[in-house]
Amino acid sequence: MDNKFSYDQYLVRQKIISVLGARFHIYNANQELVMYSQMKAFKLKEDIRLYSDESMSEELLTIKARNVIDFSATYDVQDARTGERVGSLRRKGFKSILKDEWIILNAGEAEIGRIKEDSRLLALLRRFLSSLIPQTYNVEINGITVTTFKQNFNPFVTKINVDFSSDPSQTLDRRLGLAASVLLCAIDGKQSS
């Protein structure tokens, strides 16, 4: 696996939405750019690509929605270099109205974990106060929190701190974890606009 996926801490930053689409910069703990993504605007079926830098010459991951419009959307994550299917992320549609929840699937479609918003009360308040209350998600595998995604308070720019330090044995494939963090930024960005 590429060393870009070996860090314990990342910051995913979504640039201000433009006509061209959302742009994501992913930094390590030393604030060095390790990945970049540009999500094209006006696409019916989401197709997000992570690159090694802003030149977009080296593709690392693809994140593709299976269907055009799907309330319980499933996104397949693939290693662009090897063609290996890393796994999938499926949003729990109706359940996510009150509190966001995602299912993490391995390459064989078996459920291996869940991504859950931190609190039902805070989730409800966020639905009405939007970006005034930052979101926190816990990634649970076998009932144990292995990763957290914490949104910074900023009403203009979405920033998510990704912390894999509770998972030194990498129970969660970091490629799948980073794909999830970019999806959370992208989905939150659409809900807030």
State how many domains the chain has: 1
**Chain centroid to CA 80:** 17
Query: What is the domain-level CATH number for residue 139?
Result: 2.40.160.200
Q: Which residue bears the tokens 């996104």?
A: 75
Domain interval for residue 100: 3-192
Find where tokens 């129970």 sit: 171
Q: What is the pLDDT of residue 190?
A: 47
175, 61 Cβ separation under 8 angstroms: yes
Using alpha carbons only, what angle is made at residue 125 by residues 119 and 126, rounded to the nearest 5 degrees? 85
For residue 41, the model assigns a pLDDT of 65
- The answer to whether 58 and 50 have CB atoms below 8 angstroms apart is no
- The reported pLDDT for the residue numbered 193 is 39
Q: Which of 73, 62, 147 is nearest to 112 (CA)?
A: 147
Average pLDDT for runs of 10 along the chain of length 193:
88 76 91 90 77 95 84 89 95 67 94 86 60 81 93 80 94 95 76 42
- Which residue bears the tokens 């662009």? 80
- Tell me the C-alpha distance between 106 and 141, whole Å: 12
